[in-house]
Amino acid sequence: MDIFFMLNALDEAQKAFDDDETPVGAVVVKDGVIIGRGRNERSSKRLPLAHAEMNAISEAARAAGNWRLDGCTLYVTLEPCVMCAGAIMETRIARVVYGARDPKAGAAGSLYDVLRDPRMPHRCRVTDAVLSAECAALLKKFFLAKRGRAGKPS
């Protein structure tokens, strides 16, 4: 099921790409059902907090009618940053599955390991590298285009 839900997160990332946003997508799953979707919308919304994870978590909380997302899994195409890891911890998400590692800002094992830090009152199970090549390829395509090496993103 991880691949199925990561493909849904990749669909969200593609929508971000199509909107000229950094292509990161996320979905929140509870009992095998997607209850929240999100994609990066920082530029279009002019909001620094509009990361894919934050948008998916907000939608999931509205759907659940509760800020606590116990028993949920977050699928995200790029390893969460520290801000998003904090939101994941605060909402008590049980598991995080991500695609591409982020050695510059990752907070789920690459640069930091906030989600599994034993000093924290809540910890998550983490699964990495699910469809990592596909997730990384979309990011690479976006940034190459931004640097003018591959034309404008389509």
* Mean pLDDT computed over 44-55: 97
pLDDT number for residue 147:
86
pLDDT at residue 56 tops 80: yes
Which residue did the predictor score with more confidence, 148 or 112? Answer: 112
12 is catalytic: no
d(CA 40, CA 48): 10
65-107 pLDDT, tens per residue? 999 999 999 999 999 999 999 999 999 999 999 999 999 999 9
Other beta carbons within 10 angstroms of residue 12's beta carbon come to 24
Pairing between β-strand 73-78 and β-strand 95-100 as defined by DSSP bridges: parallel
The mean pLDDT of the chain is 95
pLDDT number for residue 149:
61
* Mean pLDDT computed over 14-43: 98
Residue 63: pLDDT band (50, 70, 90) is: very high
Show the beta-strand stretches assigned E in the chain: 25-30, 33-39, 73-78, 95-100, 125-127
Residue 154: pLDDT band (50, 70, 90) is: very low
Residue type, 67: W
pLDDT at residue 153 tops 70: no
* The model's pTM: 0.94
Query: Is 109 strand, coil or helix?
Result: coil
pLDDT at residue 110 tops 50: yes
Pick the closest to residue 109 from 137, 135, 85, 132 (CA basis).
Answer: 85
Joined tokens for residue 147:
């640097």
Residue of 12, 21, 41, 53 marked active site: 53
Query: How far are the Cα atoms of 19, 83, 100, 119, 138 from residue 16, in angstroms, in the given order?
Result: 5, 19, 16, 35, 10
d(CA 17, CA 23): 5
Buried b (16+ CB within 10 A) or exposed e, 87-123: bbbebbbbbbbbbbbbeeebbbbbbbebbeeeeeeee
